[in-house]
Chains A and B, each alone.
Chain A
């Protein structure tokens, strides 16, 4: 066991830090979940990619730095420490790309990865349907075989930023004779094509961060299938652990929030009490716990062990920690916590209430925490399914 970073890792951290200090916009960008803010965030993503920071763990040929998992975690710590803009490309680089690396053809990787990481082509996920949320395998959207490709029909929903994105990916039923998770295929499809209607949906915080996607006989060529036809469930599930686990929400994010909370505590401590003080300490401790849990996981992965169902524990932990931390911040701010972003008197530009609303989504997305707890109980503890 050696929990020190190597000189190379420290040098990598230094390189991240100095580039970010020189380049992160001094004025925070408008929310990336609005049309205007999305455009600004894409400009930032272009800059990030051109300097080689958009996807540090990727192979060099796709614009990465071939960073190890530990280096990737270091990059994330520095990224959030620098209060750099949120990653509007994340549904591509963190969710679709791992699937492409595992199941994609060379043609797909060569065509898709660089524009994805640069933000030139933006991606939204299209998993859920109106009647298929937690029970994703009950989805009913279909893909029909036609000459040279497929025609997609159906409705997808809760697609993050799809109102502003170019492309999406999701599962479609290709074999109507089979049910549930059999007979599904993983497709990529355009959002600005004939037969596609995208309707933005305002989230809890009022931003148009969600969208519904309506598909009517939308043509996609065979090149847009990832993995084998009718094997889509397996393809999708192989990488869901990355979404739940460390790639979606690395510890750096929560360590940065905990530091900002401590800063808030020092500014408002005159109206603080021992209970709030203890909650601030707890928030810092939990971020530490998540950090070391993650380094332990990453060490296992680097020895070739799969992350597997353990990622469900990550997801429950970080999502519930994030809610508690923001609740503590709002409690410190007290009466002024209701002042929303855009209000001149709002403390820290209303970002704590904004962040609280975002945190509340955590226990719901990427598989609700109820589903995660079922997975933990059944697959890690071995309790009976029924």
Chain B
């Protein structure tokens, strides 16, 4: 029993954190929000250079063959920075799925390109038609009628829809299902799709932990700086207790996410339930922390001039995606009762 990350895992986290601090300041997120997704192109390229985007790809495709557990801390940092774009789809879900289930031609076309940051993958499970980041992606992996397909975005019509988180750039997609899009049928496609869904939920949970941390940091800083009645509002017990509650929710979500990362990486029997616990705790903590952070900021937090709203809206969106609490609670319930 050793519940701790290795030095290598922490080093990768630090590298990603440094890149994001330098190249993904809130202004970048804000620019993407305003409809210019190209503002995040340079941070995407730098993250690819560090090897992060291709970390799960095999070494012969330019990757590092790393596990879900290795990706947890970097994903937390990505949440912390509210990095825009289909990073989770590409890095945590698309690349490993393509590697395991792509035909030779599909892999040749997309795997190395995705791992090196030159192609973006988006994923649509279970006949899902509204897909985040579809308009800026290069290739779509879509589950249609239980079959996985890999479709170049040039063959997909994508009509924009609007997310409350404008940086998510949703689109309603449609494409003609052609034989040539099908991924390999000599592998257990159902098992691979099911694993991909677990990875998506886990990666989303890890980002939610990062989002919580950032919102709490913002709120704590604001509570230290903002003075009323001649002292910082953070000296008031009502504010302190609100923020203490936020920290407790966040800190009890974290080990659940880390454990799920370990379970999935090592194929534990409980992996699905552990992923559900991670998603429930991380999603509920993030929406709870968001509310506390908003209240502590007061009226300025209730504007789009304050950065908080971009993190808050990302948290709302991610808490509901890849299985909301109701979905995952049902899964846990079937296991427990």
Task: Give A contacts to B, CB under 8 Å.
Answer: 1-6, 9, 70, 262, 265-266, 277-278, 280-281, 284-285, 288-290, 292-293, 295-296, 298-300, 303, 310, 313, 316-317, 370, 372-374, 376-378, 380-386
Contacts and interface: CB of A to CB of B under 8 A. Distances in A.
Contact of A292 (B5, B6, B248, B255): B255
A293 B220 contact: no
Given A1-B3, A2-B1, A383-B239, 9 more contacts: A1-B69, A262-B336, A266-B337, A289-B256, A292-B3, A295-B255, A378-B240, A382-B220, A386-B231
Q: Is the interface of B mostly helix, strand, loop or mixed?
A: helix
Contacts of B245: 373
A1 B262 contact: yes
Contact of A316 (B216, B248, B253, B337): B248
B241 A370 contact: yes
A2 B67 CA distance: 14
Contacts of B262: 1-3
A285 B232 contact: no
20 contacts: A1-B4, A1-B6, A3-B1, A3-B3, A266-B337, A278-B333, A281-B332, A285-B277, A285-B332, A292-B3, A292-B255, A292-B256, A295-B3, A299-B3, A300-B4, A373-B244, A376-B244, A383-B235, A384-B234, A386-B235
B36 interface: no
A269 B69 CA distance: 38
B243 A381 contact: yes
The 7 A-B residue pairs with the shortest CB-CB distance, nearest first, are A377-B240, A376-B244, A383-B234, A373-B244, A299-B3, A292-B255, A296-B3
A292 B255 CA distance: 6
A174 to B, nearest CB: 32
A300 B5 CA distance: 10
**Most B Cβ at <10 Å: residue of A295, A303, A370, A384:** A384
A259 B241 CA distance: 31
Interface centre among A3, A281, A293, A377 (most CB of B within 10 A): A377
A280 B337 contact: yes
A295 B216 CA distance: 24
Contacts of B239: 383
Nearest to A384: B235
Given A1-B69, A3-B1, A288 B277 contact: yes
Contacts of A303: 4
A384 B224 contact: yes
Nearest to B250: A313
Contact of A373 (B234, B241, B256, B258): B241
A373 B237 CA distance: 9
A296 B243 contact: no
B2 A374 contact: no
B248 A374 contact: no
A5 B3 CA distance: 11
Given A1-B3, A299-B3, A383 B241 contact: no
Contact of A284 (B234, B244, B254, B336): B336
Nearest to B223: A383
A374 B224 CA distance: 15
Nearest to A73: B1
B175 interface: no
A378 B234 CA distance: 9
Interface in B317-337: 329, 332-333, 336-337
B48 interface: no
A81 to B, nearest CB: 16
Interface in B273-288: 277, 280-281
Contacts of B259: 3, 292
B192 to A, nearest CB: 24
B252 interface: yes
Nearest to A295: B3
A164 B224 CA distance: 49
Nearest to A282: B329
Given A3-B262, A296-B258, A70 B244 contact: no
A70 B3 CA distance: 11
B99 interface: no
A385 B224 CA distance: 11
A373 B263 CA distance: 32
A281 B255 contact: no
Contacts of A378: 240
Contact of B252 (A9, A70, A293): A293
B10 to A, nearest CB: 12
A179 to B, nearest CB: 23
B251 interface: yes
Contacts of A295: 1, 3, 255
Contacts of A377: 234, 240-241, 243-244
B237 A317 contact: no
Interface in B293-319: none
Nearest to B219: A381
B251 A313 contact: yes
Most buried by B among A2, A285, A316, A378: A285
A9 B69 CA distance: 24
Contacts of B224: 382-384
B329 A278 contact: yes
B251 A383 contact: no
Given A281-B336, A292-B256, A377-B241, A385 B235 contact: yes
Interface string B61-103: 0000000010000000000000000000000000000000000
B258 A1 contact: yes
A284 to B, nearest CB: 5
Nearest to A386: B235
B127 to A, nearest CB: 27
